[in-house]
Structure 1
């Protein structure tokens, strides 16, 4: 038996795990204890700072609800969500990169015809989104489902304003044919702030950080025999590309936006490259 000392804190705590503990759980918890204790020792954590941290985590949990997950928001703004996403979605060169899923996807969006408009509230600058779904060899992927969603011109998703926006506003699913092409009309997305009226928003303020996400269109692309792709395309030139509050921007996901139809409509072409499952 060993008793707790500062020097042997990690070994003492991890030695208390039972022999029947699930192997992966034991590995995860042992590593967590090691790094958590190393953090406290490196920074010389004070009792007051520990209490402030416990209070912050308590308030973060208290604001969570069925509609709001402040802990995921905390993970997002610390770059942790993007790190986990990157670790679990390593892809070969040329494949479209993943980014965070976000909290506003809704299952069962209507299947729409190619070229159909998904903007139902009549707001925003019209934009044609089009491109192809391809495999790594450049062949078109038939039967791919391209699930899309975005905010409206006011920076809100339909689920945030169920009494204001029409149901399924700026949402839809499109299924590719033999040519692998997709197309739909939406709006040019706008940048918007993540919820910043809680503990995470207060933390951002104290760190001198803003809560904004750059304008983006969400995509969930699935196809038989291919890995699922969760990604965004970002509006080139957006003010917040270099300071996305949740670190979701990747250079390869910044899409072109160009004026067409006498400068009354935008066009954003983008091809998605899938990898085998």
Structure 2
């Protein structure tokens, strides 16, 4: 039966126009999106002016995107949607290391370095020894695991943000575990930094009274044959932004110890074990 659009039956009328032959998963997603979107507009009694402001905001967000910057992902990040999607798709048993957001600054095929090598190439920052083991859920070492790491420099920038200023592959490297599952490398104690806030997403944060900062962290991508991929960070305990990370990436289990070292050529030591789940 034909139904004309009314305020009361708006979502039902829109969803009824969908072809029954539509891909089943797409149909589920779009029908739910329409229901929630229409319910939101009714819940807040959205005005015409507010709708126009939203359209202009999304337009500026798209215009800000380029090959080097994805403002829509940034929007997803600060709304907590990126972390929610990550959590839904990476549910793991108790004892396994938790996932967190990948971030936009990973570069594939970083140099494979000798165990214990220094990944900080610009000579800045407080030197830190990162070490631990890659284990399975039974506590057994995982041999042949690739521990891919990257972080900002002491000024709060990744090398890809400062080409020609930072050395290529600064604060990046890949390390492969031996039979004992151990990894070790030297980098710097990471520093907190702001996400790009010179666009519409940054303006939105300002309107909401939110800051753009991420707490200091080291990125890890840990892979091994027969195990689920792990994308995670370790966070510096005591950082001012742990409880207010702009992209909601902090989890209690990922706050790592950073212990001062009184001898040798490093100022800090950060031990952390990664526990993988078999596929």
Please give the TM-score of this superposition, normalised by the length of structure 1: 0.99
Query: Which residue number in structure 2 is paired with residue 27 of structure 1?
Result: 28
Shift of residue 19, structure 1, vs aligned partner: 1.9
Uncovered stretches (5+) of structure 2, i.e. residues with no partner: none
What is the CA–CA distance in structure 2 between the aligned matches of 1:186 and 1:162, rounded to whole Å? 19
Query: Which residue number in structure 2 is paired with residue 274 of structure 1?
Result: 276
Moved more, 245-254 or 14-23: 14-23
What is the CA–CA distance in structure 2 between the aligned matches of 1:132 and 1:49, rounded to whole Å? 52
Query: Which residue number in structure 2 is paired with residue 137 of structure 1?
Result: 138
Matches within 5 A, 1:198-213: 198-213=199-214
Give a deviation string over 1:162-195, Cα, whole Å, max 9, x none.
1100000000000000000000000000000000
Moved more, 209-218 or 264-273: 264-273
Structure 1 moving runs of 4+ over 4 Å: none
Matches within 5 A, 1:160-239: 160-239=161-240
Question: What's the secondary structure of 1:38's corresponding residue?
Answer: helix
Question: What's the secondary structure of 2:232's corresponding residue?
Answer: strand
Query: Which residue number in structure 1 is paired with residue 148 of structure 2?
Result: 147
Question: What's the secondary structure of 2:186's corresponding residue?
Answer: strand
Question: What's the secondary structure of 2:133's corresponding residue?
Answer: strand
Shift of residue 262, structure 1, vs aligned partner: 3.3
Question: What's the secondary structure of 1:232's corresponding residue?
Answer: strand
Question: What's the secondary structure of 1:120's corresponding residue?
Answer: coil
Question: What's the secondary structure of 2:211's corresponding residue?
Answer: coil
Shift of residue 14, structure 1, vs aligned partner: 0.4
Query: Which residue number in structure 2 is paired with residue 91 of structure 1?
Result: 92
Number of aligned residues? 277
Question: What's the secondary structure of 2:196's corresponding residue?
Answer: coil
Give a deviation string over 1:22-72, Cα, whole Å, max 9, x none.
010000000000000000001110001000000000000001000000000
Does 1:72 find its partner at 2:47?
A: no
Query: Which residue number in structure 2 is paired with residue 9 of structure 1?
Result: 10
Shift of residue 265, structure 1, vs aligned partner: 1.3
What is the CA–CA distance in structure 2 between the aligned matches of 1:246 and 1:27, rounded to whole Å? 28
What is the CA–CA distance in structure 1 between the aligned matches of 2:137 and 2:69, rounded to whole Å? 38
Question: What's the secondary structure of 2:198's corresponding residue?
Answer: coil
Question: What's the secondary structure of 1:205's corresponding residue?
Answer: helix
Uncovered stretches (5+) of structure 1, i.e. residues with no partner: none
Question: What's the secondary structure of 2:246's corresponding residue?
Answer: coil
What is the CA–CA distance in structure 2 between the aligned matches of 1:228 and 1:167, rounded to whole Å? 26
Please give the TM-score of this superposition, normalised by the length of structure 2: 0.98
Q: CA RMSD in A?
A: 0.8
